[in-house]
Structure 1
Amino acid sequence: MNEPSDPNEPAGLDLPVEGGTLRVLRFGRGPRTALAAHGITGSGMSFRAMARRLPDEWSLFAPDLRGRGGSAATPGPYGLDRHARDLCRLARDLGGGRPVALTGHSMGAYVALLAAVRGPGLFDRLLLVDGGLPLPVPPGADPDAVLDATLGPALARLGRTYATDTDYVDFFRAHPALGPHWNADIEAYVRYDVTGPRGARRSKVREDAVRHDGRDLLTSDALFASRLTELRVPALLLHAPLGLLGQEPPMLPPSVVERLTGGPDGLPAELIEGSNHYTILLGTAAETVAERFVTLGG
């Protein structure tokens, strides 16, 4: 384990999963265990802001999923069910026989939902952060075209190289959902993602992993709707009013949120005012996310 000199930075671990290892970032040193899954082009560093706001008794373990970050070389096949199996393996190994708390952001929320249903005895709560609800796709739509249209700059960067790390950071500073809210957590998240030789710096994220997982996500709406009804742990959805470009529409369509949340049988949900798809986790809203996560388990 690589111990950080800065208390705000995580320790890095390489933990076994089927066919290889995952790089897992550990935030905190407390005895209570949390597990967190990031978004489709993200990394475990997505949870830096949230983890810093957890009470001292918590340790948050945030893996880089296959094809991302320090797990970029971990072989596929990819797919949300594969990532969910990885989360269950980590929960068994990290929990020491006790259930762990589980959260996921964006695509990671879908992965966490599948893991919570697959291994209900492994987890004691599930916090979904701007993800986890079925995403309606027009009949006959090409999933790759939908990915290109919705992910925009997040996907475009994967095929580019950058002369310096500063150029890579500047690319993110120009992102309409991030630039106006720039802070140390966003910068740490961006700098963690860059790799490659001098003069040809690039993202650690594998585009083939993103496209594989994205197709899976966009063609599994019935599966996610079913899994929501099968949850047996306390669960909560936190969702943002603004989307991936920092403006309306939000990532989760309001009609879907209204249909699947609230009421005696619906998933409890809370709108986090003033946040977008990224700042709900990387901005000041991270304090609310941490609070809801801690109190969700009772």
Structure 2
Amino acid sequence: MADFRAFEEIRVPVRGGELAVLRWPAADPGAPTAVLVHGITANALAWAAVAEAVDGRVNLLALDLRGRAHSRDLAAPFGIDVDVQDTLALLDHAGLERAVLAGHSLGAFVVCALAARHPDRVRSLLAVDGGVRLAPAPQTDPDEVLENTVGPAIRKLRMTFADGEAYLDFHREHPAFVGNWSAQLTAYLGRDTLRRPDGKVVSSCVAEAIRADGRQLIVDEFVRGAINTLNCPVALLYAERGILNQPQGLYDADTLTAAGLDRSRVTVTLIPDTNHYTIVGPGAGADRVAAELVEQTAREQHVGTA
């Protein structure tokens, strides 16, 4: 199996500066490429376990969204519309006229919005525990909804930690990570840490960027329903358990039906024994995501050469 550390970091020109992108090269230089978009407070190393499971069969490009990790210095404007433009810039930079796209959580909404607005740029799409509206747009403050939904991932943006180890300790207590700690998770969280001049550590995430993406995800009806408008092949993988490892996951048969998901157009697969985070973590989650990426890229490569 490939080592998740075997990546190179590249910089992609975008509005206001450069976007950080990790590239896990395929063993075969002619192998197809998939572009990966992470969740709301995550970064490109959220895909580390998936990259290992892909094992060099697909060329992977994973970006740090604007306002996160090594893309944190990119200035406003923020929001999902901007994330779409940044992802298009990556496609252009990589010479990808059309691409297989995958997104986890918020990233699934980003790639669905991209595919809806720019269908000519997308061959097929993989949504991982995201991309499907969860409930009617709320009448309350979107920031409050976001904090109540994502919980510790948002609270950490207001926190200061003594050092990097204290930052890891905060996450070791997260219900989704208890019993699921890994080297990949340590590296992913390390990419998120920012050391201040006084030696203290904070999250790299720019709060304004997180709020802008979160607000649009909660209130923008186009973004919330984009998956229902797509004509390209779409696969949805969803976790059995939720963000805090609770028994009720983000999705089940009832929520998918209520969201109007057309099961005749979207292939839907439950990944047992995973939660919202471990669905891209080592084990059953990353293995299934990797298998889907290999299948989609192989299918699209065959179509492209037929």
Same structural fold, with TM-score higher than 0.5 when normalized by the shorter chain? yes
Q: Once structures 1 and 2 are overlaid, which stretch shifts more, 157-166 or 255-264?
A: 255-264
User: Residues 64, 97 of structure 1: CA spacing in aligned structure 2 closer, same or farther, 3 A cutoff?
Assistant: closer
Structure 1, gaps ≥5 residues long: 1-5
Deviation at 1:289, TM superposition (A): 0.6
Confirm or deny: 8 A CA contact 1:27 1:48 kept in the other structure: no
**What's the CA shift for 1:138?**
6.0
Q: Secondary structure at the match of 1:271?
A: strand
Seen in structure 2, the aligned counterparts of structure 1 residues 18 and 199 have a Cα distance that, compared at 3 Å, is closer
Residue pairs, 1:41-56, within 5 angstroms:
41-56=41-56
1:180 is paired with a residue whose SS is coil
Contact 1:240 1:273 in 2 (8 A): yes
Give me the identity figure in percent: 34
Rounded to whole Å, the distance in 1 between the matches of 2:14 and 2:173 is 36
The residue aligned with 1:19 is 16
**1:59-106 deviations in whole A, cap 9, x for unaligned?**
211111111010111011111111011111211221x25422110000
1:231 aligns with 2:198: no
SS at match of 1:158: helix
- TM-score by length of structure 1 reads 0.91
Query: For residue 139 of structure 2, what is the aligned residue in structure 1?
Result: 140
Confirm or deny that 1:217 pairs with 2:214: no
Q: Distance in 1 between matches of 2:123 and 2:263?
A: 22
Q: Which residue of 1 aligns with 2:282?
A: 283
Does structure 1 retain, via aligned residues, the 8 Å contact 2:138–2:219?
A: no
Give the total of aligned pairs.
Answer: 290
AA at the equivalent of 1:276: N
The 3 A distance-change label for structure 1 pair 263 and 109 is closer
> Which amino acid in 1 is paired with 2:160?
T
Contact preservation (8 Å) 1:109, 1:128: yes
Instruction: Return the alpha-carbon distance in structure 2 between the equivalents of residues 148 and 162 of structure 1.
Output: 20
8 Å CA contact 1:15–1:23 kept in 2: the answer is: yes
- 1:8 maps to amino acid: R
Are the aligned partners of 1:244 and 1:278 in contact in 2 as well (CA < 8 Å)? yes
Instruction: Compute the displacement of 1:244 (Å).
Output: 0.8
Query: 1:38-117 maps to which residues of 2 (within 5 A)?
Result: 38-94=38-94, 96-117=95-116
8 Å CA contact 1:92–1:122 kept in 2: the answer is no
Q: What SS is found at the alignment partner of 2:54?
A: coil
Q: Is the 8 A contact 1:261 1:268 kept in 2?
A: no
The answer for unaligned runs of 5 or more in structure 2 is 300-306
Q: Deviations over 1:183-212 (max 9, x none)?
A: 111111111111113531111001111111
Give the letter for the 1:24 counterpart. Answer: V
Instruction: For 2:4 and 2:55, locate their aligned partners in 1 and report how far apart those are by CA, in whole Å.
Output: 14
Verify the 8 A CA contact 2:17 2:74 in the aligned structure 1: yes
Moved over 4 A (4+): none
Q: What SS does the aligned partner of 1:181 have?
A: coil
TM-score (norm 2): 0.89
CA distance, structure 1, for counterparts of residue 188 and residue 253 of structure 2:
29
Judged with a 3 Å threshold, the aligned counterparts in structure 2 of structure 1 residues 36 and 138 are, in CA distance, closer, same or farther, namely closer
Q: What is the rounded CA distance, in whole Å, between the counterparts of 1:119 and 1:45 in structure 2?
A: 26
Match of 1:3 in 2: none
Write the distance in 1 (CA, Å) between the matches of 2:4 and 2:247.
Answer: 36
